[in-house]
Amino acid sequence: QDEKDILRCAHLQKELLLSAIDSVNAASETGGYVVYCTCSITVEENEWVVDYALKKRNVRLVATGLDFGKEGFTRFKDRRFHPSLKHTRRFYPHTHNMDGFFIAKFKKFSNAIPKAQKDEEPAVEAASPSTGPETVVEPQPKKKKLEDTQIVQEQKKNKPALKKRRSLQGQRRPLKAVPRSFQKPHAQVPARKKHKVKQNGQ
């Protein structure tokens, strides 16, 4: 099995466990117990599924009555599970001389289905890890406003410089007309002589 198959099995196990809990009456004379067990030691098929059921239904974990086996995980890597998962039991081939096994015992205390909270996992999860939730890129109006204010401030800084240039231009004195006596005479170009063209017979 690869990771894709494990996640697909975990998704089916969550649905099966919720259906089993819904079929049990909390006011039953036998106590309204549900036993969940797998022949797997993966966290995705065991603690992950049990923790999901604790959030989705009015059930709690009780002791399994088994005096051997290891306690279930209450934390695994970056995941944190309900503290009552210590009542679940894990069995390892190298320790208990048997196939890998997991068992959890639920006690249903109410037939009402709690409302889903925002911080909980969605009811239907993707079976494949590659198909994650679609990322929606939202506009950032705050950043745009900051950029607009920066442009306005830069324009305000540039305005005084323009005023200074105009004021310098206003301070310049107009050029006075130079009297003719100081003007240099233009060199006169001698007029070209017109050559008469002699015609034959004249």
- Produce one character per residue of 38-73: b if its CB has 16 or more CB atoms within 10 Å, e if not: bebbbbbbbbbbbbbbbebbebebeebeeeebeebb
- Alpha-carbon span 60 to 58, nearest angstrom: 7
Residue 91 phi, psi (nearest 5) = -130, 130
Catalytic residue (one of 12, 27, 35, 39)? 39
- Alpha-carbon span 92 to 57, nearest angstrom: 29
- Alpha-carbon span 58 to 109, nearest angstrom: 6
Is 9 a residue of the active site? no
Q: 64 and 89 in contact (C-beta within 8 Å)?
A: yes
Give the amino acid at 135. Answer: T
- Alpha-carbon span 28 to 34, nearest angstrom: 12
Instruction: Give the angle 52-87-11 at the CA atoms, nearest 5°.
Output: 25
Give the amino acid at 80. Answer: R
DSSP single-letter state for residue 54: H
Which of the residues are catalytic? Answer: 39
